[in-house]
Amino acid sequence: IVILFLFFFILFNKRLDEWVTHDRLDLKKIQFPKKEAKTPTKNGLPGSRPSSPERDVKRKVEVVSPATPIPAVSETTQASVFPQNGSARRAVAAQPGRKRKSNCLGTDEDSQDSSDGIPSAPRMTGSLVSDRSHDDIVTRMKNIECIELGRHRLKPWYFSPYPQELTALPVVYLCEFCLKYVKSLKCLQRHLMKCDLRHPPGNEIYRKGTISFFEIDGRKNKSYSQNLCLLAKCFLDHKTLYYDTDPFLFYVMTEYDSKGFHIVGYFSKEKESTEDYNVACILTLPPYQRRGYGKLLIEFSYELSKVEGKTGTPEKPLSDLGLLSYRSYWSQTILEILMNLKLENGERPQITINEISEITSIKKEDVISTLQYLNLINYYKGQYILTLSEDIVDGHERAMLKRILRIDSKCLHFTPKDWSKRGKW
């Protein structure tokens, strides 16, 4: 046995590098191992995470006074200012809520003005990311060269299903009041002699200064609604265009001058939404972007939800610009409430996430996701604390100084309708 063992030991005890030289290795076929993708968290960062406030629906959030240590978070949220390392920080506690499953939405640009200290880059995870998995390459190719709308010439960004004979023209002419499309300037001039509209067809439900909003029923004004969708599709990448506009209401924002009411932007919403959507598609036309009109449209949609006594949320997934605009609006609206909390009878003020949702009509899930996006939620001694740094407070104050255009609820004349009792349209 010993002899056999020595025989096999001598026969097989050979190092690999002694009998396979380097020049005999074929390195072209080597496959290097791939790094495993880390699981993203709610904030879009890899790694593990503590339990989120969404799982604890009955926790309070507290706001601490300057002399007090950081309080614990519960469903009643408190906000207070206290010095930390020589700088004042505002702590607010937020109430968590349950998460809900969340077509496409694109809005303007003014949410990109994130010089207010609030993060501006969109998350790359979660339900608020545009779904590009089912794109049709043909429908992503721009087919209209130029559109003339009133005193503006617009270059479309995306495909829009206008009649095929218009796609070969250098310019497509639109009536800025009824949005009818024609193929030549002479045709437009003849149309303007017969068109008696000087504003969108519908009820004017808001006017302050030169800004007006008109409510258009997609069933009563089908031609205008379809033309509006065709125009909007030129600037919305993921809008699904349906010619059946009956189930939708369209709210068109206009600017008034001596010639009439000129369209600035619009948003649409379903007459009946099982998901509590208060916006289906939203758009500010390019000539009016970066002037605050996008947030004005968003704010108006939530003012309608307040009158209806509901909380609302935009239809998801959002486009990139839509996500930026809504994140900016939600952040400014929520921070405005937290910073205005005051002490009551010498005690820390308390506010729940449900109360924030009721005051703003922003869906509870959007409130929680915004707080997480801003990294305001901290876990401390079994409770959740919201901490506002000086940078965020100062940035918010600077952003609010720039936000001149606001909705005045006193100028809104709107009576919600119960569409469920009106039968099928």
Q: Are 300 and 214 in contact (CB under 8 A)?
A: no
For residue 21, what pLDDT is reported? 74
**What is the average per-residue pLDDT within 119-148?**
56
What type of residue is 269? K
The fraction of the chain above a pLDDT of 90, given in percent, is: 47
Decide if 279 contacts 310 (C-beta within 8 A): no
- Annotation says 344 is catalytic: no
Name the pLDDT band for 66 (thresholds 50, 70, 90): very low
- Position 234 confidence tier, pLDDT thresholds 50, 70, 90: very high
In the predicted structure, residue 83 carries a pLDDT above the cut 70: no
- Indicate the burial class of 23 (C-beta count within 10 angstroms; 0-12, 13-18, 19 or more): exposed
Dihedral over Cα of 65, 71, 76, 79: its sign: positive
Gap between the Cα atoms of 404 and 99, Å rounded: 34
Q: What is the mean pLDDT of residues 380-401?
A: 84
Beta strands in 199-239 (DSSP E): 203-208, 211-217
The vertex-125 CA angle with 268 and 157, nearest 5°, equals 45
Task: Convert the pLDDT of each residue in 414-423 to its tens digit.
Answer: 998 888 766 5
Distance CA 266, CA 296 (A): 10
Q: Is the pLDDT of residue 405 over 50?
A: yes
Active-site position among 62, 299, 303, 315: 315
